[in-house]
Amino acid sequence: MQALCWHGKGDIRCDTVPDPRIEDARDIVIKVTSCAICGSDLHLMDGQIPTMESGDIMGHETMGEVIEVGSGHTKFKKGDRVVVPFTISCGECRQCKMGNFSVCERTNPNAKMAAEMYGYTTAGLFGFSHLTGGFPGGQAQYLRVPYADVGPIKVPENLTDEQVLFLSDIFPTAYQAADHCEIKPTDTIVIFGCGPVGLLTIKCCLLLGAKRVISIDDVPERMELARQAGAEVLDHSKGEIQKQILEATQGLGPDAVIEAVGMEAHGSGVMNVLKSAFTSSERPSALDEAILACRPCGILSVPGVYGAAIPVMMGAIMQKGLTVKTGQTHVQRYLEPLLKMVANGKIDPGFIITHRIGLKEGPDMYKTFRDKKDGCVKVVIHPN
């Protein structure tokens, strides 16, 4: 089959690789009808996440049709249409039972490596380095889905791929980011980043009843989509972002701040200057700005992805008494309620899609998405 594979920093190729097969009784194999490129894939492309190996198949936002079913599998049958969460979870361990699916204790075959880095293992993830298991990803014609009785959700025929694809990752991620803010009807929420995650987060904050949402970016078409989604928008390129936020909030600051940027942040945050003294290649300037922006005793929610140890403004967090909530998304926790919201027309997450391509155009489109060229906000790939 054809798949998009990582071959080093900035080097994604469309390769011919062996078809996946059932390896465990709980597996299914799907024929991928739609998959997407995520901001997290840019961190991998950019060499920011350790333990990628040449030839690794990319992709963790995937859906398709079930074509093979493991001998012990009873949830799906051939022909079912399913969306696959990027988190691989067993459903049986202590963490899964608590609903903490992205830190499943059992699905990462490289648990020891993860525990050495983070103290404990985290869950296996599709297409996301060997630190999270080295599972082949879903930017491919076919995908083997392990623990398929726990992760994937069957979707009704009357909903299009574009309406439901983002249940695999960024819609639940946006919802969790908003959920972490414990939104009250009087709340003002500031969101750093108007990428796909930031844009969906605006909708989720409003759905959860926020009074005001103020979004920040400097890419015009993304800022325009943020306005259309219901946010007031501040232009990062105008500088002095903290001043802009204070002016917009009568000096009070937001009740919660969401950092939906992650490691590819641009700008020259305090920590970017300090960073030169550290070995990390990460660039937490949006994180600095988010920490500064949050009002005392507010909540900082960080869906933005970080991998290695980085310098963090702990003084500001401690002195202001901030509550920090973060994590890879516990996708399975949100699947049913969010599918219902799509089905009854409360939200159509597809509004962010700007590009639709085949696998062969994938390598070029990775660069277009990374460089924010051609008005690119979200890319959907049809591999078959």
Ligand X SMILES: NC(=O)c1ccc[n+]([C@@H]2O[C@H](COP(=O)([O-])OP(=O)(O)OC[C@H]3O[C@@H](n4cnc5c(N)ncnc54)[C@H](O)[C@@H]3O)[C@@H](O)[C@H]2O)c1
What does the binding site for ligand X look like in residue numbers (CB under 6 A)?
38-40, 42-43, 169-170, 173, 192-198, 216-219, 222, 236, 260-262, 264-267, 285-286, 289, 303-305, 328-329
* CB of residue 174 to ligand X, shortest distance in Å: 9
Identify the three-state secondary structure at position 332: helix
* CB of residue 281 to ligand X, shortest distance in Å: 14
| Beta-bridge partners for 56 | 6
- Residue that is written with structure tokens 């920093």 in the block: 9
Nearer to ligand X among residue 28 and residue 36 (C-beta): 36
With CB under 5 A as the contact rule, which of the stretches 134-142, 166-174, 215-223, 370-378 interacts with Zn ion? 166-174
CA–CA distances in Å: residue 384 to residues 35, 348, 358, 359, 368:
11, 24, 8, 8, 22
* CB of residue 352 to ligand X, shortest distance in Å: 9
Q: Decide if 294 contacts 313 (C-beta within 8 A).
A: no
DSSP strand pairing (28-37 vs 62-69): antiparallel
117 binds Zn ion (CB under 5 A): no
Please choose, from the candidates 131, 168, 164, the residue with its C-alpha nearest in 3D space to the C-alpha of residue 306. Answer: 131
**How many Cβ atoms are within 10 Å of 368's Cβ, its own excluded?**
18
Question: From the list 4, 28, 38, 189, which residue makes contact with Zn ion (rule: CB under 5 A)?
Answer: 38
Q: Decide if 6 contacts 129 (C-beta within 8 A).
A: no
| Beta-bridge partners for 235 | 217
CA–CA distances in Å: residue 137 to residues 31, 85, 95, 221, 306:
13, 11, 24, 29, 20
* CB of residue 43 to Zn ion, shortest distance in Å: 9
Q: Give the Cα separation of 356 and 200 in Å (integer).
A: 19
Q: Decide if 153 contacts 336 (C-beta within 8 A).
A: yes
With CB under 5 A as the contact rule, which of the stretches 135-143, 164-172, 235-243, 375-383 interacts with Zn ion? 164-172
40 binds Zn ion (CB under 5 A): yes
Q: Positive or negative CA dihedral for 297, 299, 304, 309?
A: positive
Could you tell me how many residues of this chain bind Zn ion (CB under 5 A)?
A: 9
Report residue 164 as tokens: 């439901």
Query: Considering CB distances under 5 to 8 angstroms, the limit depending on partner class, which of Zn ion, ligand X, none binds residue 190?
Result: none
169 binds Zn ion (CB under 5 A): yes
Query: Considering CB distances under 5 to 8 angstroms, the limit depending on partner class, which of Zn ion, ligand X, none binds residue 96?
Result: Zn ion
Nearer to Zn ion among residue 62 and residue 188 (C-beta): 62
Nearer to Zn ion among residue 69 and residue 103 (C-beta): 103
Nearer to ligand X among residue 124 and residue 304 (C-beta): 304
Nearer to Zn ion among residue 93 and residue 312 (C-beta): 93
Query: Considering CB distances under 5 to 8 angstroms, the limit depending on partner class, which of ligand X, Zn ion, none binds residue 286?
Result: ligand X
Nearer to ligand X among residue 63 and residue 305 (C-beta): 305
* CB of residue 91 to Zn ion, shortest distance in Å: 6
90 binds Zn ion (CB under 5 A): yes
* CB of residue 67 to ligand X, shortest distance in Å: 27
Q: Give the Cα separation of 102 and 93 in Å (integer).
A: 12
Nearer to ligand X among residue 27 and residue 289 (C-beta): 289
Give residue 384's Cα distance to chain centre. Answer: 24
Q: Decide if 143 contacts 32 (C-beta within 8 A).
A: yes
Report residue 198 as tokens: 């930031």
Nearer to ligand X among residue 52 and residue 66 (C-beta): 52
Q: Give the Cα separation of 101 and 89 in Å (integer).
A: 6
Q: Give the Cα separation of 163 and 349 in Å (integer).
A: 6
* CB of residue 127 to Zn ion, shortest distance in Å: 9
* CB of residue 263 to Zn ion, shortest distance in Å: 13
Query: Considering CB distances under 5 to 8 angstroms, the limit depending on partner class, which of Zn ion, ligand X, none binds residue 104?
Result: Zn ion
Query: Considering CB distances under 5 to 8 angstroms, the limit depending on partner class, which of Zn ion, ligand X, none binds residue 27?
Result: none
Report residue 177 as tokens: 């980011």
329 binds Zn ion (CB under 5 A): no
Q: Would you tell me which residues interact with Zn ion (CB under 5 A)?
A: 38, 40, 89-90, 93, 96, 104, 106, 169
